[in-house]
Amino acid sequence: MKRVLLLVCIFLLMPFFSLYARDNVVFYQMGDRDPALWDGLKKYFTDKGYGVIVYKAANNIEQQIQNANKINREKATVFLAVELVPSEKEGIFVAMPQTQKGKGNILEIDEVPGAHGVDSEELAISIALPFNVKIKRLPLFVFLGIDMPGVFLKIDCPKDKTREMFNKMNEGLQKYFNRGEKDETERKSE
């Protein structure tokens, strides 16, 4: 009887656990790290209700492997490698990892991101749409060993336009996170 009650409790609480992890985002700091821009990004996405996890990019393969192991243990849904560049002009470059799909049960470190190729493409498209830019596919070192959907973003951002840029990023992330809910709602209404 106790086991049945425990299973029922776990079953009833499961949606809350999956919701909790759903909107956690790993931000991987690339390039020069302008503290004001990064503080603004963290505050913006935290205020929007995201779980924000920030890592500094690795400079060598050993550090990348250590970071990947830590990141993969996080309860996060997406990985965003972001380079925030203070600039006079606003713009964004969106790239997804160009990876090989693994053939066996045990993946090589460079094949791990390939397991999330479809989701990474959906994430890249979702973020690129509000900015009206195309996505690129590149072999990117920062995705080595990362076991979740991810994209690389290089954001050129004037100080007075950061909120606009973050709003568009948020719009894309919400589109990605809610991509299956619209289809489910349409099916229920038919």
In a domain, 9, yes or no: no
CB 164 within 8 A of CB 155: no
Contacts of 69 (CB under 8 A, 6+ apart): 145
In a domain, 164, yes or no: yes
4-46: pLDDT as tens digits:
444 344 444 444 443 344 589 999 999 888 888 899 999 999 9
In a domain, 8, yes or no: no
Q: What is the span of the domain harbouring residue 75? A: 17-189
**CATH code at position 103:** 3.40.630
For the ranges 6-10, 94-98, 119-123, the lowest mean pLDDT is seen at 6-10
In a domain, 92, yes or no: yes
Average pLDDT value for residue range 169-177: 95
In a domain, 4, yes or no: no
Q: How many domains does the chain have?
A: 1
In a domain, 7, yes or no: no
Beta strand 51-56 pairing with 24-29: parallel
In a domain, 88, yes or no: yes
- The secondary structure of residue 57, as a DSSP letter, is P
pTM metric for this prediction? 0.80
| The one-letter amino acid at 186 | E
Beta strand 91-97 pairing with 24-29: unpaired
